[in-house]
Structure 1
Amino acid sequence: MTQALPQVSLGSSRLVRFLSDLAVTDTQVSHRQFTERLGQWIDFSDSITLSDAHARDLEIEDDAALADFSDGITQEFLRARSTLIQAAMRSFFPSSGPTRIKWPTQESEIPKDAEAAMAPYLKFYQSQQMDIETKIRGLHLRTREASSALSTKLARICAIDAALGDALAPRSRRFFAAIPALLQSRLEFLFGEYQVAVEAGSTPADAWANTREQYRRESQGLLLAEIEARLLPALGLIEALNEETPHED
């Protein structure tokens, strides 16, 4: 039996809510605003491409294989998603298992200013961003290729997904590239709180340990939210696949 997939809407996006909770953005986007912005982001040539993808009469060799393969595609997506999330979360606790990207180790000296306090953590987050972007792009492409071969309807959906992805890619890259700057603002604020705690009588070592732990918790939550947001296009294909698949009662 296929595992239930999460239902995610724009208004409940974990990434939007997390950034709002950290008070680094006050972005509120209604459905109407999103639709209007989407229209602005897609130019005339992109619209033609999308129209062609929607109208395309595709020849599908494996039209009868939908019921046989859809569950396998879904399970592969869920397995890959789980592996991706586990690897990203493990990197925050290197001692929990092997990981290529590791949360910065405790420095022997406490940073003397905000720039020194933030630099290794921002570098860590940006490395994670590049890693998950590559992995999720590959997962999305594999999901699209596998799904497109199962029915004419799914092939058309996948063609539209590819055209829409190309049209929105530059805007998407700019959005995700802005996240480290938002994280930097938050880490700078937390370092200011560390300084206030020291001035109030806390020992620098204890105050920095608490601040560093806060860095870790918030960076981890932000990365998890970004992974969820980046997975949405592939998740949309999986949901379309499951809607197209005949299920036994």
Structure 2
Amino acid sequence: MTQALPQVSLGSSRLVRVLTDMQATKTEVSHRQFTERLGHWIDFADSISLWQAHDRELSVEDESVSSFAAGVTEEFLRARSRIVQAAMRSFFPGSGPSRIRWPEQDNAPADVELAVTPCLKFYQQQQADVDSKVRGLHLRTRAAVSTLSVRLARICAIDAALADALALHARRQLASVPALLEQRLRYLFAQYRDATAAGTDADAGWRETREQFRRETQGLLLAEIEARLLPALGLIEAINQEIHDED
């Protein structure tokens, strides 16, 4: 039985909410601001590519969408689950094999750099790993969806053109996330130092701070994975809409 897909929009993205909770970003962006920013990101050559993707003739041999849609959706859900599980295992090295491991810092670091730098390196390694996996899933999903109907093939062509036009800007925006995480971890470490100066047991305080580092970094990574998956998820939702329109 096909699992229900979450209804996700950019405006309610978990990544936006997490960064807002960290007081790292403003979320109030008007429709006019968004469209103006998008217009700056897509240049004349990109506009031509989008027009060509929308206008060119497309053909599909088999238009019985419902007979293949379940398999495409199930494969997307399985792949998404594997990406999330692999990322979460890395936070708990004893929970299973993982190439990237959360830094074990049993003793309180002497300064903030020693506390924060290993966590940031871990996050950046995870970003690179997740980026590769999600891009592969997006490409596989697009290739599968494009064979199901002419309408879906056109959506996939536009998706490909948009991906090319916005890839650089998306990478630039996501590359700024570790800097925002660094601000948060530095703040948490400063709180730990203040608490120990006020008389809190240093070892107990560090254990609590270390776990908060882990929890917040884990939540941020999950939110980023969700945001990165949105384009592929949009293609899966297009399948469901196509089936609904046929009924």
State the TM bucket, normalised to the shorter chain: over 0.9
Matched with 1:76 is: 75
Normalised to the residue count of structure 2, the TM-score between the two structures is 0.96
Q: Deviations over 1:133-152 (max 9, x none)?
A: 00000000000000101111
For 1:103-122, list aligned pairs within 5 A: 103-107=102-106, 109-122=107-120
- TM alignment of 1:187-206, pairs within 5 A: 187-206=185-204
| Distance in 2 of aligned mates of 1:106 and 1:114 | 13
The C-alpha deviation readout for 1:164-193, integer Å capped at 9, x for no partner, is 000000100000100000000000101100
Alignment partner, residue 44 of structure 1: 44
Whole-angstrom CA distance in 2 between matches of 1:145 and 1:92: 33
Alignment of 1:181-220 (within 5 A): 181-220=179-218
Number of matched residues?
Answer: 247
Q: Supply the distance in 2 between the matched residues of 1:150 and 1:35 (Cα, whole angstroms).
A: 31
Q: Give the alignment partner of residue 155 of structure 1, picking from 153, 156, 165.
A: 153
Once residues 120 and 14 of structure 1 are traced to their aligned partners in structure 2, the CA distance between those partners, rounded to angstroms, is 25
Q: How does 1:119-130 map to 2 (within 5 A)?
A: 119-130=117-128
What do residues 59-104 of structure 1 show as CA deviations (whole Å, max 9, x unaligned)?
222334x222111000100111111111111111111222111111
Q: For 1:34, what is the secondary structure of its paired residue?
A: helix
Contact residue 67 and residue 246 of structure 1 kept, 8 A: no
2:95 is matched with which residue?
A: 96
Q: Identify which range, 35-44 or 227-236, moves more after superposition.
A: 35-44
1:180 pairs with one of 172, 178, 202:
178
Q: Distance in 2 between matches of 1:162 and 1:170?
A: 14
Q: CA RMSD in A?
A: 1.5
The separation in 2 between residues aligned to 1:129 and 1:101, in whole angstroms, is 11
- CA-to-aligned-CA distance 1:104-136 (integer Å, 9 cap, x gap): 1124x4211111110110011111101110000
The residue identity in structure 1 corresponding to 2:94 is: S
Amino acid at match of 2:140: R
Q: Which residue of 1 aligns with 2:10?
A: 10
Provide the C-alpha distance between the structure 1 equivalents of 2:27 and 2:236, rounded to a whole number of angstroms.
28
- Is 1:67–1:245's contact at 8 Å kept on the other side of the alignment? yes
Task: Determine the structure 2 residue equivalent to 1:24.
Answer: 24
Q: Quote the residue 2:130 is aligned against.
A: 132
Aligned-partner Cα distance in 1 for 2:120–2:177: 10
Residue 233 of structure 2 corresponds to residue 239 of structure 1: no
User: 1:248 deviation in Å?
Assistant: 9.3
Q: Which string of whole-angstrom CA distances, capped at 9 and with x for unpartnered residues, describes residues 6-32 of structure 1?
A: 111222111011000011222422333
User: For 2:83 and 2:72, how far apart are their aligned partners in 1?
Assistant: 16
Alpha-carbon distance between aligned partners in 1 of 2:66 and 2:37, rounded to the nearest angstrom:
37
Matched with 1:60 is 60
Give the % identical residues.
66
Letter of the aligned partner of 1:58 in structure 2? Answer: L
Task: Report the residue type matching 1:172 in the other structure.
Answer: A
Cα deviation for residue 247 of structure 1 reads: 8.5
> 1:63 is paired with a residue of what secondary structure?
coil
Q: What are the equivalent positions in structure 2 for 1:158-169 lying under 5 Å apart?
A: 158-169=156-167
Unaligned runs of 5+ in 1: none
